[in-house]
Amino acid sequence: MPPASNHYIHKGQPGFWRAGSALFAGAVVTYALLYSVQPILPTLSADFAVSPTVASLTLAFSTGALAVCLPIMASLSEAVGRKHLMAFAMAASVALAFATAGSSDFPLLLVWRLLQGVALAGLPAVAMAYVAEEFSPQSTGAFMGFYVSSSTIGGLSGRILTGTVTDAASWRVAILLLAAMGAAATLWFIVALPRERHFQRQPAAFDTLFRGSYAHLREPGLLCLFLTAFLLMGSFFTLYDYLPYLLVAAPYRLSQAAIGWLFLLNLTGTASSLLMGRLADRWGRRPVLPLCILIMMAGMLLTLVPALPIKLMGVAVTALGFTGAHSVASGWVVLRATRHRAQASALYLLFFYAGTSVIGTLGGVFWTHLGWPGVVGLLMALVAAALILSGVLVRLGPLPRPARLT
């Protein structure tokens, strides 16, 4: 017998904002912890006497582990419950943040960051399923934009906090403060988020997960979109991985606090996602995706200009193009996947975050041997490959091709 309609979380009722604030807190903590080390990579290099390439592994290990574990966590939640898995993931992530701050050497730091990436996968893999099941259909759309914005806020707040506190005290104090805030948010999440009323426990269907994923990878259009996500996300975040090394050195000599605040340039992407979404509805996705990629390439070229204002303008333009491309591509995945759309979205995110790990580490080699022009040259080549993939998508046509399970 289906649950009564009044058991759903409705917009306008007190429970809506209570549950919404819990999920908001969870997303903010997740992305703040994930990206907290990005602005302080030069500090980690100096503190542990490691190269930029090696220092970048502190981010690569976490994003890579998160990418791999996203679809696994989604299937695991079918057996253990949505809220239980999300709450455990948050608590484990916070505990590992405390451990990270106390790392005695760099290999141990990497171990904690790797495990933290595994734990962090628990919330983004499950949150949307919880919303779809527990919020009323009339309230789901209103909450989606609110939830998605929380990931942006989390990423920005984590970077700004660690950059600012590292400048005033140390990176260890910054991570400890972030962990303490995460602990408070986790307690609120546990207290405020209602238990599931519409969830039906079932065995984790890992066999279906792997068969469905294999079918999606065989569909040419979806594979192009997955690879596009890999290339664009990896290129965009590699830009931010090594930009701090450039800006803390002569002639710019920016502080760690200033480096942290530079991530506010990502906010240009908020307007871009709305604009490009409207253009995609009006013109179709086929012309808008390459347009976004070209904007991204133009921004990267601007970062080669020595003048700091122009260089920062280039970062903002790159963010504008990247966010627009991500908005169009992620929506296109759901349209092309005529079956098992949740798995298709999980695969997209897997490639999306895997790009930061693989390309971010590769970028360190180019930074070490060729400097900033070498990094930009690498990223331009990768984004150009994404542009070619967008052309392949045009040739495949606008209609999705069904993915059949074998």
Per residue in 187-235, pLDDT (tens digit) is 999 999 998 887 777 776 666 667 777 888 989 999 999 999 999 999 9
CA dihedral of residues 386, 388, 393, 397 (deg, nearest 10) = 160
* pLDDT tens, position by position, 323-368: 888 878 887 886 787 776 667 777 888 999 999 999 999 999 999 9
> In the prediction, which pLDDT does 31 show?
94
pLDDT at 340: 66
> What pLDDT, in 10s, does the model give residues 29-59?
999 999 999 999 999 999 999 999 999 999 9
Residue of 211 and 390 predicted with greater confidence = 390
Q: Tell me the per-residue pLDDT of 229-270, one tens digit each, with 9 for 90 and over.
A: 999 999 999 999 999 999 999 999 999 999 999 888 887 766
* Alpha helices (H) along 56-81: 57-80
- Residue 4 is predicted with a pLDDT of 43
Measure the CA–CA gap between 336 and 344, rounded to whole angstroms: 9
Write down the residue that tokens 């605040």 correspond to: 261
| Confidence band, pLDDT 50/70/90 cuts, at residue 144 | low
Domains of the chain: 1-192 (1.20.1250.20), 205-401 (1.20.1250.20)
Q: Tell me, what's the pLDDT at 277?
A: 63
**Each residue of 79-129: pLDDT tens digit?**
888 899 999 999 999 999 999 999 999 999 999 999 999 999 999 888 877
pLDDT at 266: 82
pTM, two decimals, is 0.86
**pLDDT band at 390; cut points 50, 70, 90:** very high
Q: Is the pLDDT of residue 139 over 70?
A: no
Q: In this structure, is the dihedral angle defined by the CA atoms of residues 385, 388, 392 and 398, taken in order, positive or negative?
A: positive
- DSSP letter at 2 equals P
Which amino acid does the sequence have at 101? Answer: A
